[in-house]
Chains A and B, each alone.
Chain A
Amino acid sequence: MEIFLQACVNGLLIGGFYSLMGMGQNIIFGVMKIINFCHGEMLMIGMYLTFVFNSYFGLDPYLSIPLVVVIMFALGALIQHTLITPSLGTKSFTNLLFLTVGLGMLFQNLALVIFSPNYRTITTSYSSKTLSFGPVTMSLPKMISFIGLIIVTVALFWFLKYTPTGKKIRAVSQNPIGAEVVGINTKRIYIITYGLGCALAGIAGALLTLFYMVYPMVGASFSFKALIVVVVGGFGSIQGAFFAGIFLGLLETLSSLIVGPTYRDLTVFVTFIVILVVRQVIKLRRR
Chain B
Amino acid sequence: MLNVSGLCSGYGNVQIIWDASFSVNDGEVVAILGSNGAGKTTLVRTITGMIRPWKGSVVFDGDELAGKSSRAILDHKIVQVPEGRQLFTEMSVYENLEMGAYSKETKAKLAESLEFVYKWFPKLKERRGQAAGTLSGGEQQMVAVGRALIGLPKLLILDEPSLGLAPNIVDDILSVAHSMAKEQGISVILVEQDITKALRMADRGYVVENGKITLEGTSEELEKNEHVKKAYLGI
Could you tell me the distance between the alpha carbons of A167 and B91 in the complex, rounded to whole angstroms?
Answer: 9
B193 CB → nearest A CB, Å: 20
**Complex interface: chain A residues within 8 A of B82 (CB):** 177-178, 181
Which stretch of A51-59, A110-118, A148-156, A168-176 is in the interface? Answer: A168-176
- Which of A170, A180, A183 has a CB less than 8 Å from the CB of B88? A170
B87:A183 contact, CB within 8 angstroms: no
Contact mask B95-128 → A, CB, 8 Å, 1/0?
Answer: 1001110110000000000000000000000000
Contact (Cβ within 8 A) B86 A175 = yes
Which of these, A167, A175, A182, A183, contacts B89 with CB under 8 Å?
A: A175
Name 19 interchain pairs, CB-CB below 8 A, sorted by A: A167-B98, A171-B91, A174-B89, A174-B90, A175-B86, A175-B87, A177-B82, A177-B86, A178-B99, A180-B50, A181-B48, A182-B74, A182-B102, A183-B70, A183-B75, A183-B102, A183-B103, A183-B151, A184-B99
Contact mask B71-87 → A, CB, 8 Å, 1/0? 10011000010100111
B147 interface residue, CB < 8 Å from A? yes
- Total interface residues on A, using CB and 8 Å? 13
Cβ of A123 to closest chain B Cβ, rounded Å: 45
* In contact, B90 and A181 (Cβ under 8 angstroms): no
Do A178 and B102 touch (CB < 8 A)?
Answer: no
Q: Is the interface of B mostly helix, strand, loop or mixed?
A: loop
- The interface residues of chain A lying within 8 Å CB-to-CB of B103 are 183
| Residues A178 and B87 in contact, CB atoms below 8 Å apart | yes
A182 to B99, Cβ gap below 8 A? yes
B80 to A, closest residue via Cβ: A181
CB distance from A237 to the nearest CB of B (A): 9
Nearest chain A CB to B122 CB, angstrom units: 23
CA–CA, A175 and B147, complex, Å: 14
Q: Which residues of B contact A178 (CB under 8 A)?
A: 82, 85-88, 99
Query: In the complex where A181-B80, A185-B71 touch, is A171 in contact with B99 (Cβ < 8 A)?
Result: yes
* A182 engages B91 (CB within 8 Å): no
Render B139-171 as a binary contact track against A, CB cut-off 8 A, 1 for contact: 000000001000100000000000000000000
When the two chains form their complex, are residues B90 and A183 in contact, meaning their CB atoms are under 8 A apart?
no
Q: Which residue in B74, B85, B86, B91 is a CB contact (below 8 Å) of A183?
A: B74
Q: List the B residue with the shortest CB-CB distance to A172.
A: B88
Give a binary string over B186-225; 1 marks a CB under 8 Å from any A CB, 0 the rest: 0000000000000000000000000000000000000000
